[in-house]
Structure 1
Amino acid sequence: MALRTITAKAAAELDKELMSTGAFSIDQLMELAGLAVAQTVYKVHPPQSNKPRVLIACGPGNNGGDGLVCARHLHHFHYRPSIFYPKQPKNPLYQHLLQQCRDLGIPEVTDFNQALLQTDHIVDAIFGFSFQAPIRDPFPSVLEALAATTVPVTSVDAPSGWDITNGPPDEGPVKGWHPDYLVSLTAPKPLVKFFKGKRHFVGGRFVSPGVAERWGVDVPKYEGVDQVVEVPVESMGGERVGEGEKGKM
C-alpha cells in the first residue's frame, strides 16, 4: 500500500492540532522526533560497525532541535556524535537542548568541511518541511559540501534545500543531490516521490488514530519499541492531503 503524503501547510496545521487538542507540548514532539532520527541512524549505521562518529548538522529551526535531541540519544546509544550548529537561536527550548548535549561532553564543531573529514555518518537536520528558498548564509556552502561528500547522509523529514512539493532543485548547491537515507516525521511529504536514496523510514508513532483519520494520514505498523518503521522507497506517491484540508481525499 502506498502511504499518503501530507503537504507542508497541512503538516504545520497537524502539528498545531497535536499541541492543542492532542495535548502534546512542542518539546515532547521534538523529543519523539529526535529519538526517531537516532533510531534510524541505529538501523542504517549500527554502532557495531566500528565507525561510531556521527556529525549532526543543525539548522536554526525545529529541524535543528530534532538534531540536538538525536545527538543526545546517539551519545547514549554509544556513538560519538558531534554538532555543527552555526545559527543558534536564543529561544530557551533550543538553548536547553544544546545545554543537555554540552553536559554530556558532545563536541561542537565550527568548520563543516573539516568535520566532514572526521566523521563516519552525517545527520542532515538543517531544513525541514517549512523550508523556503533562498538559502541564506552560512548554509549555501554547507549544503554544497554536504552534496559533494561521500560520507553517508541521513536527512530529517526533507533533504535540506529540496522543495517540499517538487523535490530536488534544478539549480543551486544541492542540484542532483539525494541523501542515502530519509526519515519522514509524522507522515511523508510530497517530495518523497522524487527520493532515490537507499532506504526510507517513517517516524510518527505518536499520531493517534483519531488524528490519523481526520488528516488522512497512514500510520504504519511499528514493531516492538521502535519509533520508526521502514517503508519501501518505491511505495510512495499515494493520495495527498491538501493545503490544510483534513480527511481523506
Structure 2
Amino acid sequence: MSFRMALRTLSAKNAAALDKELMSDGAFSIDQLMELAGLSVSQAVFKLQPLNKGKRILVACGPGNNGGDGLVAARHLHHYGYTPTIYYPKRSKSELYQRLSKQLQDLAIPFTSDFPSALAATDHVVDAIFGFSFSGEVREPFPAVIEALRDTKVPVLAVDAPSSWGIETGPPGEGPGKGFMPDALISLTAPKPLVKWFKGRHFVGGRFLGEEVAERYGLDVPRYEGVEQVAEVPVEGEGKL
C-alpha cells in the first residue's frame, strides 16, 4: 500500500501525553500497549527479513519501554521460526520487564553481553535501545553499540527512533550516533518529527489508535490491511513507495 503524502507526526511531548491518555481514559494497560507494539515490530522484521534470507536476529534492548518492545518482539520472532539473541545490558528491575525476560529464558532464547560477537553472527538487528523519551547524552555501554550499528553492513530496523537521534531534531551532529542511518524504521502509534531526516524504509505499527483520539492529536491512522499490525508508508518528501 502507499500514501500520497507523508503522515502527520507526533511530538515527544504529545507522544507521552497520548500514552498517558491511552492508559487512563483509553483503559489500556502498559502490558497491552507493549505487547501490541512488540508484535508490530516482529511483523516489520518478518517483512524486511524473510525466514529464507536468514533467521538470526539480534535484538538490542535499552532499559526503558523501547527495550520492552524489543523483548516482546523477540518472543514473537521465536514463534515465527527465527533464532533471536538478546543484548540487554541494563535490565530494568520493574516486574513487567522481569516477566518479559523470563518468558524469553523459558524459550531458551539466549542473552549475550558480547555485542560485537553477536553482531558478527546475525542476519538482522533490531535497535530497541532508545525511543521517543530519549534526550541528552548516550551513556555507557551504549556509545560503542550505536557506533557498531552505524558501521555494520547488517540490516538494522530501528524501533520508534534510531538510537541517539533527537525526536524533534533528528540525527546528532556529533557523538556516537553521527552518521547512523538504519535501513528501516518502525514508528509506533505515529511517526515522530525525526522522520523528515530518515532515508530508509518506514513502517507504522501499533494498531490500537481510534480515529477520534487520532484526530484530537492531529494524526493519521494508516490503512492496515487484514490482520497486519504494520503499514509501510513513504519517508518524508516521497510521493509513493
TM-score, normalization by structure 2? 0.95
Q: Is the 8 A contact 1:3 1:235 kept in 2?
A: no
Give the drift of 1:48: 2.0
Task: Report the counterpart of residue 123 of structure 2 in structure 1.
Answer: 120
Tell me how far apart the structure 2 counterparts of residues 121 and 160 of structure 1 sit (CA, whole Å).
16
Q: 1:19 aligns with which of 18, 23, 26?
A: 23
Residue 47, structure 1, aligned to residue 43, structure 2 = no
- Helix, strand or coil: the match of 2:8? strand
Q: Quote the RMSD (CA, aligned, Å).
A: 1.2
**For residues 114-193 of structure 1, what are the structure 2 equivalents within 5 Å?**
114-193=117-196
- Helix, strand or coil: the match of 1:155? strand
Q: 1:214 aligns with which of 206, 213, 216?
A: 216
In structure 2, the gaps of 5 or more residues are none
Tell me how far apart the structure 1 counterparts of residues 49 and 58 of structure 2 sit (CA, whole Å).
13
Q: Is the 8 A contact 1:204 1:219 kept in 2?
A: no
In structure 1, the gaps of 5 or more residues are 237-249
Residues 143-192 of structure 1 deviation map (CA, whole Å, 9 limit, x = unaligned): 11111111000000000000111110010111111000000000000000
Task: Report the counterpart of residue 109 of structure 1 in structure 2.
Answer: 112
Q: 1:38 aligns with which of 42, 61, 69?
A: 42
Task: Report the counterpart of residue 226 of structure 1 in structure 2.
Answer: 228
- Which region of structure 1 is more displaced relative to structure 2, 139-148 or 85-94? 139-148
Moved over 4 A (4+): none
Give the drift of 1:219: 0.1
Give the drift of 1:235: 4.8
Tell me how far apart the structure 2 counterparts of residues 229 and 150 of structure 1 sit (CA, whole Å).
25
Tell me how far apart the structure 2 counterparts of residues 178 and 54 of structure 1 sit (CA, whole Å).
19
Give the drift of 1:2: 2.5
Q: Is the 8 A contact 1:165 1:190 kept in 2?
A: yes
Instruction: Give the count of matched residue pairs.
Output: 235
